[in-house]
Amino acid sequence: MSYSYINRQNLKFADLHTHTKHSDGTFTPSELVEYAAKQGVVVLSVTDHDSVSGIDEAIETGFRCGVEIIPGIELNTDFKDGELHVLGYFIDYKNPEFIKKLNHFRESRIERMRLMIDKLKGNGHSISFDEVRDEALGATGGENVLGSIGRPHLARVMVKRKIVEDERVAFERYLGNGKSCYVEVLNKLAPADAVRFIVEFGGIAIMAHPGLTGRDEIIAELVKEGLAGLEVYHTSHDPQATKKYEKIAAELNLITTGGSDCHGPKRDMAPYCGSIKLPLQLVEALKKKKGII
């Protein structure tokens, strides 16, 4: 049975892959948790890109709404000619050394954004860093959100400035890989480095949406570095992909997890929180790996 397509009324379930305004989502952490509660989610993980600054707000709201929050993160890594994302659960997100390393990622993102803005100016479109920063900050008001400033924020400013019709066009003409304003990620993080980083700070490392990434050849290698599981149940996985990764997880004795990859409203075709209904026994397997139960 594929857990991705369970849809029974009154079923309590988990969603272990969501984003807020502290990376590239449109919900505040509180809005996300409140929305999740209405969808029947009782266990939620906030997994912002390279940022943990929304977790405390989510936990506080979770207490009020009856939603358990698992501290999480999604690290963007570079592999060959594309990206591979690694999820981390139960990380020691307040550890000073952990924060120090995340700040290093933050500084690299900011520098990359400044370089892309310079390239855009060379194409005749003048946008300030402050505009993109304000777009990234949104309504949160927290400087830590700059840890995940990225191309989606620049694309949104371009739409507001009427440089492009929508975000998709911004990527197709200017910001996509190989386009005129594209800048490669600075201080690239390799997938193995991300797995070791998560494990170093007490986390459980899971490969995100492997079907979307299409890099199956690296899974066994990452297991040697501490990879503990695969995100088998994801909105980008059709039934065939789900079965495939269930099989790989079983063969490698890996945990299976899942999530909606919700980015909130106002994102084109964004899945809603709770669109993947992950049974709570899979959360228990994750906790068992952590040693909580």
The predicted-structure confidence for 215-238, as pLDDT tens digits, reads as follows 899 999 999 999 999 999 999 999
pLDDT, position 186: 74
Q: Which residue has the higher pLDDT, 174 or 292?
A: 174
* Cα–Cα distance, 135 to 61 (Å, whole number): 24
pLDDT value at residue 199 = 97
pLDDT at residue 60, rounded to an integer: 98
Of 184, 183, 156, which is closest to residue 170 (Cα–Cα)?
Answer: 156
More confident residue, 243 or 190: 243
**pLDDT, position 150:** 78
What's the rounded Cα separation, in Å, for the pair 50 and 221? 23
Q: How much is the pLDDT for 270? A: 65
8 A C-beta contact, residue 142 and residue 28: no
Domain that holds residue 115: 3-290
Highest mean pLDDT among 68-82, 138-152, 217-231: 217-231
Model pLDDT, residue 63: 97
Give CA torsion, residues 163, 167, 172, 174, to 10 deg: 50
Out of 4-8, 41-45, 52-56, 58-62, least confident range: 4-8
CATH of the domain at 224: 3.20.20.140
What pLDDT, on the 0 to 100 scale, is given for residue 16? 98
- At 5 the pLDDT is 36
Average pLDDT of the segment spanning 7-11: 47
Sort 239 into a burial class: Cβ within 10 Å, 0-12 / 13-18 / 19+: exposed
Q: Around 195, how many Cα atoms within 13 Å sit in the side-chain half-sphere?
A: 21
Average pLDDT over all residues of the chain: 88
Check residue 30 and give its pLDDT: 96
**Which token pair is 272?**
């809603």
Most confident of 46-55, 74-83, 178-187: 46-55
More confident of the two residues 168 and 269: 168
Give the separation between CA 231 and CA 152, rounded to whole angstroms.
23
Per the model's pLDDT, the better-predicted residue between 70 and 78 turns out to be 70
The reported pLDDT for the residue numbered 213 is 85
Residues 169-182 have pLDDT tens digits of: 999 999 988 899 99
Contact (Cβ atoms closer than 8 angstroms) between residue 126 and residue 143: no
**81 has a pLDDT exceeding 90:** no
pLDDT digits (tens, 9 = 90+) for 242-279: 999 999 999 999 999 999 999 888 655 567 898 999 99
Q: Averaged over 276-283, what is the pLDDT?
A: 95
Alpha helices (runs of H) in the chain, residue ranges in sequence order: 29-38, 55-65, 96-122, 129-137, 151-160, 167-170, 191-200, 210-213, 219-225, 239-251, 280-290
Considering 55-59, 111-115, 164-168, the range whose residues carry the highest mean pLDDT is: 55-59
Assess whether pLDDT exceeds 60 at residue 10.
no
* Total of domains in the chain: 1
**Is pLDDT above 50 for 142?**
no
| C-alpha count within 13 angstroms, C-beta hemisphere, residue 230 | 30
